[in-house]
Structure 1
Amino acid sequence: MSESKMEENKTNENNLSEKLISKIKNYFEERSIKKAVLGLSGGIDSAVVLALLVNTLGKENVTAILMPNSKITKDSSTKDAENLAKKLGVEYFIVSIDSVLEVFEILPWKQNNTAKANLNARARAVVLYNYANSNNCIVAGTGNKSEFYLGYFTKYGDAAADFFPIGALLKKEVRLVAEQLNIGPEFLDKIPSAELWENQEDEKELGLSYSVIDELLPLILKNKEIPKGKEDAAAKLKKIIESTSHKREQPVIITF
């Protein structure tokens, strides 16, 4: 890579948070929308989205909703989320989803672990849209590009949103933006987890680290050569992408 190209890439990285704020601002202005709500989990993705929205809309136009499951969500996650909301000065609510989940215990069939785990994300989506409908605002999603292509999200759960401020960012780029926005180490150093069940960790579940995913994903999407020694990881990643393709598609309308 040439020296000028390296300098250009460095400049782009340095301006990443500024570019995102500008793009988000344009999105809201073009649609005459003034307010947004998001689910704040205590993880780095939602922390970055909250900070971006505050920088774009102003703290008075952003609401964060913390939605713990008392059986799964770590106290530290809720504490970190609450502290960030206080630091940024946004309105926030803590809404336990326990009672929402209890309703599904009456279903007359056996629910597997996947169905139970996904209920957490879908219950949170219901709460977010209830608030959005009641307060004339839109729901900001907190998913990133790495998760999107891995299908690492719940249909009609955390995938239910009106726009995704960091949806074009790889996980490593989310971390970069977090640093630029002065998001603290309690988020940067946290092990990634969707907390859909006890002691769940993203990288263990995926069987791949985000560093490997972020290295290989752009190459796979652009059909570029895979580095030697990374072929097995790339094959695994391709298989995940293919098997979750239905999660990235709109519902099919059967025509005749």
Structure 2
Amino acid sequence: MTERLDQEVLKIDCKQAESVIIDFIKKTVEAAGAEGVVVGMSGGVDSSVVSVLCVRALGPERVLGLIMPDLGITPKEDVEDAKTLAEKLGIRTRFIPINPVVDSFLKTVPTGADRIVKGNVRARTRMIFNYFFANALGYLVVGTGDRSEILIGYFTKYGDGGVDFSPIAHFYKTQVRQFATYLGLPEEIINKPASPQLWIGQQATDEIPVDYDVLDLILHGLFDLKMIPKEVASRLEVPVVLVDEVRRRFEVSVHKRIYPPGIENGESLRL
């Protein structure tokens, strides 16, 4: 029997998913002996979904939202969306513009770094603030990454990828948007173009190989259905070079998804 490869196969049972994720959050926090969670709130769909789920799992008093714009880059509407959601959820927030830290750092290093290098400094600065508050409060840092971006390495190593656990890492981006609708998030958040906002005008769709509707199906074909690139391309009626590029991005970003490797059986080197 031929497996389907269309948007229908990515539909999720949102009610069951909510129950499973809430239970996962509760058990993860309890197992760590943590008092709550810190979530970086960008105003985007991923962090908004995670914020809602954390509140439903732990209660608003155990969730701290950090809103960390770069005031010269982050759109004002993203900041307002994050603030509005936090108020609706009843959680504590800290508003921390990262400009002073980023600017100070960049002044101490050689000039000439490209925008990707500088953008990663912004992502890693946010990670540092997340862990400052997590350490101070006995909280865990909850990740907001989705499976689409994790599989192709579209995140900053030890930046937005530096977290303690990731409750929506099993959802493709299109599934996150389905789930956001179920959770009752505003349309302006659900349909907002994805962007890490690491430089002015950055849009995810300018940097990923293809729009998420197609990307998610390519990923599903390659990694869930174990199809070869040629078969995925044929089924989706896309160029095989596109599927190969998605596969290549997965392969070159493996280091982002694994614990740093070391020498195995090192005891054999003893004198």
Q: TM-score, normalised by structure 2?
A: 0.87
CA 10–107 in structure 1, closer or farther in 2 if over 3 Å, else same: closer
Q: 1:166 matched to which residue of 2?
A: 168
DSSP-derived class of the 1:252 partner: coil
Residues 172-215 of structure 1: per-residue CA shift (max 9 Å, x gap): 11112211211111111111111011111101111311111111
The CA distance in 2 between the partners of 1:34 and 1:233, in whole Å, is 45
Alpha-carbon distance, 1:59 to partner: 0.4
The CA distance in 2 between the partners of 1:227 and 1:153, in whole Å, is 25
Q: How does 1:4-23 map to 2 (within 5 A)?
A: 12-23=13-24
Q: 2:47 matched to which residue of 1?
A: 46
Q: Is the 8 A contact 1:17 1:180 kept in 2?
A: no
Alpha-carbon distance, 1:88 to partner: 0.5
CA 10–156 in structure 1, closer or farther in 2 if over 3 Å, else same: closer
DSSP-derived class of the 2:259 partner: coil
Matched, 1:223 2:229: no
The CA distance in 2 between the partners of 1:13 and 1:40, in whole Å, is 22
Unaligned runs of 5+ in 1: 2-7
Unaligned runs of 5+ in 2: 2-8, 267-271
Q: TM-score, normalised by structure 1?
A: 0.92
Q: Is the 8 A contact 1:45 1:142 kept in 2?
A: yes
Read off the aligned partner of 1:102 and give its amino acid letter: D
Read off the aligned partner of 1:175 and give its amino acid letter: R
Aligned residues: CA RMSD: 2.1
Share of identical aligned residues, percent?
34
The CA distance in 2 between the partners of 1:240 and 1:11, in whole Å, is 26
Matched residue pairs, number? 252
The CA distance in 2 between the partners of 1:110 and 1:226, in whole Å, is 41
DSSP-derived class of the 2:217 partner: helix
The CA distance in 2 between the partners of 1:127 and 1:166, in whole Å, is 22
Q: Is the 8 A contact 2:147 2:169 kept in 1?
A: yes
The CA distance in 2 between the partners of 1:9 and 1:86, in whole Å, is 32
Q: Is the 8 A contact 1:101 1:123 kept in 2?
A: yes
Alpha-carbon distance, 1:9 to partner: 8.8
Matched, 1:245 2:254: yes
